[in-house]
Structure formats: C-alpha cells, structure tokens
Amino acid sequence: MNARVGAATDVGAVRTSNEDSHFTGERVFVVADGMGGHAAGEVASAMAVSHLGTLDSRPDLGPEDIRQALITANDAIRDAAVGGRAGMGTTATGLVSVTFAGSPHWVVFNVGDSRVYRFAEGALTMLTADHSEAAEMVAAGTLTEDQARNSPFRNVITRALGAYRAPEPDQWVCPPIPGERFLLCSDGLTGEVEDDEIASVLASTPNPAEAADTLVRRAVQAGGRDNVTVVVVDGPTPPPAP
C-alpha cells in the first residue's frame, strides 16, 4: 500500500518532557503514550514503537504477527522496569497494512487509551475502544459518555504494555474504503479538542503532515495539559468521483 502519512508531536504547555512516541513506516503506523514519569515513560513508549516498527520490513503480515510484537514489547518493557522504574509502561495503538483473504486490509490494534479514528465520507468514527476505568464504566452503564469526559477514572488505564501479565490487545480487521484517512493519537489530543473540530480539520486539510501539525497546535492552544501526538494516514485509494 502506498499511504501518505504525516505526524506531529508536542510536549504540551504544562509537562516538562514528552513521554509519547510514534512510528510511521511503509505499512506500520504506531502511537504510544508512555507513563511512569521522566526516564521511564519515554523509554517505554520508545521501546513499544521500536518493537512494532520492526514489522514494517516484513512482507506478509497478519494479526498474529502484531500480537506477537506486542507481547515481545510488553516483556522487554517489564524487564526494563525491574531496575527501579516502578510504574513504567505505555499504551500502543496503530494501523498495519496486511493482506487478508487475498486482498489489502488494515489491522487496527490497541492496548490502553490512545486511539485510532477513521475519517471517511465526512464522518469521524472511533475504531478503538479505550482500556480505561471510565470507558469500562460507560460500557457497564454506570457512567454516561459526558460524565466520562471529566471523570478522574478516565486516567486510570486498565491495559498497558509493561505489565506483568501478557497484554490482551484488541484487534480489528478493516477492509479499505476509498478516500479514507486515519487519525492515530494520544489522549493529549482528545482531552483538549472536540470530535467536531478534529473532523473539520481533517476535512479541510488535504495534506496529512499539515493536518497533523494543525491538530497538535490546536491541542496545545486549548490548554496542552498533556503531551500530544498525532499521526494522519491517508489510504491509497482516492475518493470516488463526485
């Protein structure tokens, strides 16, 4: 697949170090949001994207390869954390171009509360499900979506890489849609910028690098309370002629 891609990241307006990492290759695109503080979070997120990035040079990728890379990354981060970096971990979410049932497909994967969205036919759709206490309370019906936005449970991650147990990544296999673009982001974007505004930037900014820059800038201008990372990937198939 010949996707066009743009990426941007910023420490934000409050924090002193950027613990997010990202990777963009030919067929693998990843965002990771590290946790554990300085010299831990950025190490964990960098390890996650580097393990997943090795998949980029492999021609015949499937969902199982992605799961294996996440397990390997989890174990490496957990072992690195043993040397006194308690609480070191990272989210990992992304998009991989694979051949599935003989034709090109995307695999979307997620561990944690970073997100992948698809923007197609003017609509922004969240493809991943957050692994946070707030999201689980919404799923269980004990919290509304609106309440979840401002809940302290939003920041309690229920799955991450670097944990003692092997990770249970979510994976979705998606057939390509003409004209689609994907947005990968850390919660530093979605905590500051509403979905409507994200959709309007994606609709009005054809260049993916410019779209990523604009979204990161909007998040920092809106408060920038967290590190913010955005990757925009345009699918290889142009939109249908009007």
Chain residues that interact with Ca ion, rule: CB under 5 A: 33, 186-187, 226
Shortest reach from residue 130's CB to Ca ion, in Å:
12
Nearest of 217, 195, 242, 181 to residue 12 by alpha carbon: 217
Shortest reach from residue 42's CB to Ca ion, in Å:
12
Q: How far apart are CA 104 and CA 99, in angstroms?
A: 5
**Nearer Cβ to Ca ion, position 33 or 234?**
33
Q: How far apart are CA 29 and CA 97, in angstroms?
A: 9
Shortest reach from residue 218's CB to Ca ion, in Å:
16
**Nearer Cβ to Ca ion, position 112 or 167?**
112
DSSP-derived 3-state class of residue 2: coil
Nearest of 117, 156, 119 to residue 135 by alpha carbon: 156
**Nearer Cβ to Ca ion, position 10 or 226?**
226
Nearest of 182, 228, 200 to residue 4 by alpha carbon: 182
Contact 227, 216 (CB under 8 A): no
**Nearer Cβ to Ca ion, position 33 or 130?**
33
**CB-CB neighbours of 235 under 10 Å:** 23
**Nearer Cβ to Ca ion, position 18 or 24?**
18
Shortest reach from residue 10's CB to Ca ion, in Å:
12
Shortest reach from residue 238's CB to Ca ion, in Å:
34
**Nearer Cβ to Ca ion, position 45 or 214?**
45
Contacts of 84 by beta carbon, 8 Å cutoff, 6+ apart: none
Contact 28, 94 (CB under 8 A): yes
**Nearer Cβ to Ca ion, position 190 or 205?**
190
Shortest reach from residue 213's CB to Ca ion, in Å:
19
Shortest reach from residue 23's CB to Ca ion, in Å:
17
Q: How far apart are CA 63 and CA 110, in angstroms?
A: 12
Query: Tokens in use for 79?
Result: 């072992």
Q: How far apart are CA 45 and CA 40, in angstroms?
A: 9
